[in-house]
Structure 1
Amino acid sequence: MTTQADSGVRQRTRRAILDAAAAAWARDWSTSLGDIADRAEVSRSTLHRYFPERQALVDALLIDAQDVLDRLWVDATAASASPIESIENIMMAIAGEADRIVFLFTDPGRFAGNPNWRTDDSDDDMVDLVRAAQGDGTVDPDVDAEFAVGVVYSLVYVAAEAAASGRMPRHKAAELAVRTFRYGLSPRP
């Protein structure tokens, strides 16, 4: 019989393994399960009890990373009062998940054919947010909305990569991504 305490320990152990895999694979896709176990501070046999093979861990992390980003997106938009605030809050939230962003998007073909790879309508949702921000004058209406979405995601990826590599703290990288989206790189007059 599994107790609630056992369940909590299992969830924490699973989370530690997923976090360790995200951090490791964001830096080196060839990182072994043994190295991930060491990073998660669990034995290799414990890791294999949760994830019997590499593909099982890849699939679990793929699902987890997408779920985390989806949840952050929903929370970020719920906490926003305007389209531009939604865009900025989304950028801040998802750039903070640097390891998962880099894991998911470093190699666009990495998950081709994997049934756990979801394509969703977040691009359409972001286009709608950009168009709404253009409508209220907070984003230049002369900029193609899909181009602006590409800029948003590019900045999020660059921020995530800077944070995952240790070049910049996560919060600073996310703030810089938002600032760059809002004001570009040129000095303000």
Structure 2
Amino acid sequence: MDTVAPTGARARTRRAILDAAVSVLSKNPAASLADIAVAAGVGRTTIHRYFPERTDLLTAIGVYLLERIETATVRARLEEGAADAALERVCQEYFELGDVLQFAFENPQMQEWTDWETETEADKALERLIRRGHAEGTIDPALPPSWVAETMWALLYAAWQHTRTRQEPKHSALNLCLHTLRKTIRTG
């Protein structure tokens, strides 16, 4: 498996393979590595150079997803402004990861990936944000941080499904998600 973080063209190729894999496997979990290679615009041998086995590819997708969540968390600037506003920003950032997150949630092969259970820096930052919201009074302190986080993820999933199954525009689904989140976390 590719253990060194690639740079430049190698990083772009790796990212193209991972994005193609998510796209192809979300439509057909039994798709071959050759199908993924075609979608990524690379040869099958290139896929095998990066990911010798299918399990290596699935593991890399999981790591890639966690990296994207971490990047989205940083972009949300959780330390700035009121905690409830920062929670909305992180929700907006995570919403943009819908395709890859839905793939991970719905793909039985990804459920075997044990790193899902590891607490990440993004998880810790989200918990700190919610605790700050409790202290400043912008997030109901009766709602434990784990409940608020799980509620946010459930609302995101509902918004992604709403766009997929009802062909709702993404901005409308995100607005519904944020509106419901605001009403859920409000104090009083």
TM range (shorter): 0.7 to 0.9
Once the two structures are overlaid, the 10-residue window that deviates more, 34-43 or 11-20, is 34-43
What per-residue deviation string (whole Å, max 9, x for no partner) do you get for residues 88-147 of structure 1? 111111110112211222258844464x54511554543443343244333334445433
**1:1-189 aligned within 5 A:** 8-78=8-78, 80-106=80-106, 110-112=110-112, 114=114, 116-117=115-116, 119-120=118-119, 122-123=122-123, 125-163=125-163, 167-183=167-183
Q: CA separation of 1:80/1:140 partners in 2, compared to 1, >3 Å: closer, same or farther?
A: same
Count of residues in correspondence between the two structures: 177
Flag the structure with more relative contact order, 1 or 2, with Cα contacts below 8 A and sequence separation at least 6: 1
Q: Distance in 2 between matches of 1:175 and 1:101?
A: 19
Give 1 or 2: higher helix fraction. 2
Give the letter for the 1:29 counterpart.
P
Q: Distance in 1 between matches of 2:123 and 2:153?
A: 9
Secondary structure at 1:120 match in 2 = coil
Q: CA RMSD in A?
A: 3.0
Q: TM-score, normalised by structure 2?
A: 0.75
Q: CA separation of 1:155/1:28 partners in 2, compared to 1, >3 Å: closer, same or farther?
A: farther
Conservation of the 8 A alpha-carbon contact between 1:99 and 1:164: no
Q: Structure 2 regions of 5+ residues with no counterpart? A: 1-6
Q: Structure 1 regions of 5+ residues with no counterpart? A: 1-6, 185-189
Q: Distance in 2 between matches of 1:88 and 1:147?
A: 16
Q: Tell me the residue number matched to 1:187.
A: none
Identical columns (%): 31
Conservation of the 8 A alpha-carbon contact between 1:27 and 1:165: no
Conservation of the 8 A alpha-carbon contact between 2:26 and 2:107: no
Q: Distance in 1 between matches of 2:164 and 2:10?
A: 26
What per-residue deviation string (whole Å, max 9, x for no partner) do you get for residues 130-173 of structure 1? 34324433333444543332211101222334456793454443
Q: Distance in 2 between matches of 1:79 and 1:129?
A: 8
Conservation of the 8 A alpha-carbon contact between 1:134 and 1:141: yes
Conservation of the 8 A alpha-carbon contact between 1:97 and 1:160: no
C-alpha displacement of 1:178:
1.5
